[in-house]
Amino acid sequence: MAENKRELPKVLEIDFTITDESVNRYGWRLLVAGIVLTGFLKNPVCCVQHFTSMIPVGKWKNLRVEGQELKGTVEFDRNDEEAVRLYWKYTDGYMNAVSLNVIPVEESEDSKLLLPGQKCATLVKSELLEISLVTIPGQANAVKLSTPEGKEYKLNLLTQNREMAKEEKTVEQLNQELEAQRKLNAENLVTIHKNRGVVADGEVESIKKLALADYQSTSEMLNARQVPKTEPTGDSAETLAEALVKLHFDRGAITEGEKAIFKGAATLDYEGTKKVLEAKTGKDGLQTFVQGLTNGGNQANAGAQGERAGWGYYEYFTKDPQALALMEKNEPDKFKKLAADFQASCTPGGALL
């Protein structure tokens, strides 16, 4: 389930338009210039889904008002695995929204502030509580209203629209909306941790039911799950070790009794064991070893050794410098002869004759 690691920038930053002064789907709007940032800037945490009890995934900076828009930049915590995962979700376009949570301070029914479609008072002054990364914002311009105690706040209906109060929802409708929100929260929770790689496909539905019954406990349980380490693709360490030992046993560099020892060592440290075995001289000299490296132990390519028999220094240097280096170490006389023949075939200026 886990994806390959991607190279991270030194700083993980994304700039957002957080909100604006348009009328939202609930019929009210706020004035961006009236948002008080002082308290928030002392602790500018970036939460997820407005879950302030969870550890933040980054911090907000460069908050600014541009015209009728509040903008800001999230710096994701590059040392937090969930923060890095969310950074890629936004970078790749799978998530796009953020949402701010404010405490209303002052409302106004001034007609000069009203826009077409506005049903409730204009929020002219508010205190910024927190800004979250969200999968689906609760409103078109993504603003949540809270009381200082953290409860939901509702703006007053405009005086001229008091008759709209008759449209207040029934208890049954409110319960239906609450149940729908609980289901959405449960689905979002499972999705976040499934993307982490700690929720298997077969347990998605059961964990959703757990989250509906006890969201907080389910969230703590999933947060405690460790992300599984990605198994390397291709041949296993034991298979690679066995092939390496066979190659050097076949060329006579190790004995039957040493095979098990070197296999165990190669399973734990392939590269280190490979260097040790390559330094050993086999009974057939260098050519068998070079052929094994080139053919991967495949006997079907037996003509390779005959081809190399006619190679000189230049051919080894351009086609297989590794074999040339091993020749210098294991067969110095042959190496010196090839080097001397090559030198003799060159002009004083270094060009080949």
Structure confidence at residue 302 (pLDDT): 47
Predicted pLDDT of residue 38 = 92
Of the chain, the end-to-end C-alpha distance in Å amounts to: 59
Most confident region among 3-12, 37-46, 176-185 by mean pLDDT: 37-46
User: How many of the other CB atoms lie within 10 Å of CB of 112?
Assistant: 6
| pLDDT at position 3 | 52
Distance from C-alpha of 201 to C-alpha of 208, rounded to nearest angstrom = 12
Question: Does residue 41 register a pLDDT over 90?
Answer: yes
Integer Cα distance of 238 and 232 in angstroms = 12
What is the 8-class DSSP label of residue 62?
E
**Beta-bridge partner residues of 107:** 123
Contacts of 319 (CB under 8 A, 6+ apart): 311
Contacts 24+ apart (CB under 8 A), 85-92: 85/195, 85/196, 86/48, 86/57, 86/133, 87/12, 87/14, 88/6, 89/195, 90/14, 90/133, 91/14
pLDDT on residue 34: 93
Q: State residue 4's pLDDT score.
A: 56
User: Per-residue pLDDT tens for 49-89?
Assistant: 888 888 999 999 999 999 999 999 999 999 999 999 999 99
- In percent, the amount of the chain with pLDDT more than 90 equals 22
- The residue-averaged pLDDT of 96-114 equals 88
What tens digit of pLDDT does each residue of 252-293 get? 778 887 888 778 778 877 887 788 778 777 655 444 444 444
User: C-alpha 256: how far from its chain's center?
Assistant: 47
The pLDDT, as a whole number, for residue 165 is 42
- Amino acid identity of 323? A
Instruction: Please name the residues in contact with 99: beta carbons below 8 A apart, sequence gap of 6 or more.
Output: 50, 131, 132, 134, 137, 138, 139, 142, 143, 144
* Between 142 and 93, the higher pLDDT residue: 93
- Confidence band for 161, pLDDT divided at 50, 70 and 90: very low
So what's the pLDDT on residue 24? 80
C-alpha–C-alpha distance, residues 159 and 154, integer Å? 15
H helix count then E strand count, the chain:
13, 8
Question: Of 179, 249, 188, which is closest to residue 218 (Cα–Cα)?
Answer: 188
- Mean pLDDT of the chain, nearest integer: 77
Q: What pLDDT shows up at residue 322?
A: 67
pTM for this model (two decimals): 0.43
* CA atoms of 28 and 66, how far apart (whole Å): 21
* Alpha-carbon gap, residue 265 to 68, rounded angstroms: 67
Structure-token pair, residue 116: 């077409």
What phi and psi, each to the nearest 5 degrees, are found at residue 63? -70, 135
pLDDT value of position 321: 66
Which alpha helices (DSSP H) does 156-199 contain, by range? 171-196
Largest CA distance in the chain: 106
Contact 122, 113 (CB under 8 A): yes
Spatial contact of 353 and 346, defined as CB atoms under 8 Å apart: yes
pLDDT for 349: 46
Q: Residue 160 has what pLDDT? A: 45
Q: Identify the pLDDT of residue 141.
A: 57
Name the residue among 191, 56, 198 with its Cα closest to residue 133. Answer: 56
Higher-confidence residue: 236 or 192?
A: 192
**φ, ψ for residue 201, nearest 5 deg:** -55, -40
Lowest mean pLDDT among 101-110, 183-192, 314-323: 314-323
